[in-house]
Structure 1
Amino acid sequence: MTTTFIRNAWYVAARSEEVGEQPLGRTICNEKIVLFRSGAGVAAVEDFCPHRGAPLSLGFVRDGNLVCGYHGLEIDCAGKPQSMPMQRVQSFPCVRPYAVVEKYGFIWFWAGEKETADESQLPYLEWAESEEWAYGGGLYHIQADYRLMIDNLMDLTHETYVHASSIGQKEIDEAPLKTTVNGEIVTLERNMENIYAPPFWQACMRSKGLDATQPVDRWQRCHFHLPSNVHIEVGVAEAGHGGYHAPEERKVSSIVVDFITPETETSHWYFWGMARRFNVQDEETTRQIRDGQGKIFSEDLEMLEKQQQNLLDYPERRLLMLNIDSGGVQARKLIDKKIQAEQADGG
């Protein structure tokens, strides 16, 4: 069976605050799961009641167990039925449990067999554990192949056109690209010198007390990590002070955080945000950046969903591969290689 998903990997299933007193249903890599808080932390099982097939996500949590909202079958965090009104449940079939870990403010889901889950494969997110960083973000549900989002994030020339009023500028098109592959990481790098900052970065400069009218050096460093995460180092510095390597007092910089979680072959969950090292304690700066980012990503959403529909309508059309596509192309090669290796191992 062909697949477009890596199975033996961690995907962001939810933000921690999404899973509270009520269970949360979500589909990841075509697996319908329900997340809930048990006595031992967050748990995940198949979103299917073995009694009549009702979604367990429509139930509730009681004493750390998941109770089906249809007829009251109670299931523990290992997927084993525990009780049901007026019934003996010892012979009831279990539902499939999944491996989940709560870390960095996210709930991570292992898409393979629970026994193969390896917590050492969780990414290390420095910004999530340091008081020197601030983070704000959100979530979009997008009706498009998750790989189209990876293409989008690994080719920022689209900013000139899709995000013309915020982060786009013609100099992005004109700057040379450098794409490298180091193991299971693809990096695309672009530097722009002695230009004027676009509106979004002007606002960031003003928030730090820098003169937003002066020329700047701007950089973009896109890093793709398996299975489907893209982290982008971005920023501007007063021109002539080293660009990416400029002293902190001369620049505003951040990491655009993108966790792209496949839902189906034509839809995905997009956990987006920005981690920054300036005005860390200022909640208003966090709000303004989050609102600005949300608007920017909503522009991507419309483009990607209509792109997906075009690809479905014209499956025979062959697409061009240009030098600006090199980051996405290399990322897809890594994904395909990993999938092929799993299939060869019978995973």
Structure 2
Amino acid sequence: MFTKNCWYVACTPDEFAEKPLGRQICGERIAFFRNTDGKVGAVQDFCPHRGAPLSLGYVEDGGLVCGYHGLKMGADGKTLSMPKQRVGGFPCVKSYPVEERYGFVWVWTGDASLANTDDIPVLHWAEDPEWAYGGGLYHINCDYKLMIDNLMDLTHETYVHSTSIGQKEIDEAPVKTKLVDGEVQTVRHMENIKAPPFWQAALTANGLDADADVDRWQICRFNPPSHVMIEVGVAIAGNGGYEAEAQHKASSIVVDFITPETETSHWYFWGMARNFKPEDSALTDQIRQGQGQIFSEDLEMLERQQRNILEFPERNLLKLDIDSGGVQARRIIDKLLEKEQQDSKITSVSVSA
């Protein structure tokens, strides 16, 4: 099950620049489109006439036209028109609160009366000219919580990403997990080590010696419903590590927005925001390509993990100290789900009374 009274990243604007986009989020099929005012609309991907997907249609005069028989739907879920038909009595379809911000389109799939755009997380790097961002999207056939587990425990880098960001020192360095103002944090610092290939390239790009000893850090931050931001970087050893001044380090934020599709699949919006050489578009493309390859390695592992879990539902998975970040994140999700279900029951009782 998923929490629905929250904001998820649904898509990026380029995905429906030419035609409507159909996407399943939290088990609900939604059609996204842009009206003539430039605003994004999100409605149930279901034409009330014959049930055709509205996302297979096109936009005309601000409405979403069904590609089957021409019914035109507004962003509020009401039928605007249909050739040779009076539409006043046509049923509405569900519309969704939607907001375009920070280069993403956010959607609220729960109780629309509770949607508040102030609850969308603040992404300072998305509006700061001193930062650059590049990213992509993967569709992954596994429970979205498995991806959260994966990102909150980076021990796997030594094994899954051995040729790029992995190194044995990750295994050897202790990891600390803590809960700070509702945010789960897992923190790992490594001192006086050699940088792995990905970070050697980043040091070179920032004009630093790729062969020098470095201090490395990984600070994973989970915020509900499913967002993980990871501060990562290396600094030339002896300059303060994480606290080093910019001229001594290469650092960035790994951006992870994990949006449930079904119980065993999700949309994974990944990227990296950096505050060195933001004007270098070639470097942005280079990092995007390298990061995309790294995350593709996660994809295979997670999908195979999901298949095993489904095949052996009776098996209990071990919980070790390195899993504490994912365990804490799941506890938060479970509490939100429980509250949402209780609120729904109270609402149902009030309506029936």
> If the length of structure 2 is used for normalisation, what is the TM-score?
0.96
Shift of 1:86: 1.3
Matched residue type, 1:9:
C
State how far apart, in whole Å, the 2-side matches of 1:147 and 1:316 are.
Answer: 19
**Mapping for residues 136-215 of structure 1, pairs under 5 Å:** 136-215=134-213
Shift of 1:147: 0.2
Matched residue type, 1:63:
D
Is 2:336 the counterpart of 1:338?
yes
Question: 2:105 maps to what in 1?
Answer: 107
Q: Secondary structure at the match of 1:191?
A: strand
Is 2:18 the counterpart of 1:21?
yes
Range that drifts further, 168-177 or 33-42: 33-42
Q: Secondary structure at the match of 1:209?
A: coil
Is 2:31 the counterpart of 1:34?
yes
Matched residue type, 2:24:
T
State how far apart, in whole Å, the 2-side matches of 1:272 and 1:126 are.
Answer: 17
Q: Equivalent of 2:320, from 303, 319, 322?
A: 322
Question: 1:77 maps to what in 2?
Answer: 75
Q: Secondary structure at the match of 1:345?
A: helix
Q: Give the number of equivalent residue pairs.
A: 344
Matched residue type, 2:183:
I
Q: Equivalent of 2:3, from 6, 11, 28?
A: 6
Conserved 8 A contact 1:218-1:236:
yes
Conserved 8 A contact 1:231-1:255:
yes
Deviation sequence 1:147-181 (CA, Å, 0-9, x none): 00000000000000000000000000000111001
State how far apart, in whole Å, the 2-side matches of 1:34 and 1:256 are.
Answer: 29
**Mapping for residues 258-297 of structure 1, pairs under 5 Å:** 258-297=256-295
Question: 1:131 maps to what in 2?
Answer: 129
Q: Equivalent of 1:224, from 203, 222, 225?
A: 222
Conserved 8 A contact 1:24-1:36:
yes
Deviation sequence 1:239-282 (CA, Å, 0-9, x none): 01110000100000000000000000000000000000111100
Question: Following superposition, which runs of at least 4 residues in structure 1 exceed 3 angstroms of deviation?
Answer: none
Matched residue type, 1:13:
A
Shift of 1:19: 1.9
Alpha-carbon RMSD across the aligned residues, in angstroms, is 0.8
Q: Secondary structure at the match of 1:98?
A: coil
Conserved 8 A contact 1:21-1:37:
no
> If the length of structure 1 is used for normalisation, what is the TM-score?
0.98
Deviation sequence 1:209-251 (CA, Å, 0-9, x none): 1000010000000000100000000000000111000010000
Gaps of 5+ in 2: 346-353
Gaps of 5+ in 1: none
Question: 2:351 maps to what in 1?
Answer: none
